[in-house]
Amino acid sequence: MRFEVLHTRAGARTAIAVACAGAIAAGSGCREKPTPPPPADAAPAEPVDRVVRVLRGSAVWYGADWHGKRTASGERFDRHDLTAAHRTLPLGTRVRVTDVASGRKVVVRINDRGPYGPNRRRVIDLSEAAARQLGFAERGSTRVKLEVLEARDPAAAGPADAGVPAGAAARPAGAAARPRIGPMP
C-alpha cells in the first residue's frame, strides 16, 4: 500500500491517506491525486443571468447631443456609460442586447425613456458606448435581440419582488456602480 503526500500539512496528509484507504477498500485503488480546493482568495463564479423576456426590433444610438442632460431616472446621461432608453421597462433593468448581424453582445442598464417617434420597430435607444461595443456606431442603426435579465440577487429584493427585473425597485441616482468604457475617438 502506497500513500502519496501532496501537501506538507498534517491535515492534508490525513485526508489523502483516508481517501486512498477508502478507494482501496472499494477496490478502485489510489492512482489519481485528489483535486485541490480553490484558492481562498479566488473570486466567486459569476451568477448566471436568467432571461425573463425577449424582444426583437431595431436599435439606434444617441451620444454627444444628449451628453450631460438629465435622463428619466434623474441621473445625467453619459455617452460613455453602457446605458439605454426603453419605453416601458423599469428604470434600472439590465438588458443583454445582441446585434443580430454580427452576434456581438453588450449588457446595458435602462436609465431613460424612448425611443420616440413614429417608427415603432425601434425597440431601444443605446448609448454611444454600447453602439460602439456592438459595432454599429458608424451605421447608426441595426437589428437587435433584447434579453431582459432578472435581478442578480432576487433574495436581496425581498420575497414580494422575486422574479422582478433588476432595478424595478427605486434606486437613488448614481447609487450603483455603472458599467463604463473610456472615451471613444
pLDDT digits (tens, 9 = 90+) for 152-178: 765 544 333 334 444 444 444 444 445
pLDDT of residue 26: 53
Tell me: do 140 and 105 sit in the same domain: yes
* Cα 2 from Cα 29, distance rounded (Å): 10
- Asked whether residue 65 carries a pLDDT value surpassing 70, the answer given is yes
Tell me: do 95 and 146 sit in the same domain: yes
Dihedral Cα 39, 40, 46, 47, nearest 10 deg? 120
pLDDT of residue 88: 95
Specify the residue for cell string 450603483. Answer: 176
3-state secondary structure of 149: strand
Q: What is the pTM of this model?
A: 0.60
Tell me: do 27 and 79 sit in the same domain: no
Tell me: do 33 and 55 sit in the same domain: no
- Asked whether residue 1 carries a pLDDT value surpassing 70, the answer given is no
Tell me: do 79 and 134 sit in the same domain: yes
Task: Report whether 169 contacts 157 (CB < 8 A).
Answer: yes
Domains of the chain: total: 2
* Cα 82 from Cα 100, distance rounded (Å): 19
Domain membership flag for residue 164: no
Which residues, including other chains, have CB under 8 Å from residue 18's CB and lie 6 or more apart? none
Domain membership flag for residue 96: yes
Cell numbers at residue 138, please? Answer: 458608424
Say if strands 94-99 and 122-127 run parallel, antiparallel, or are unpaired: unpaired
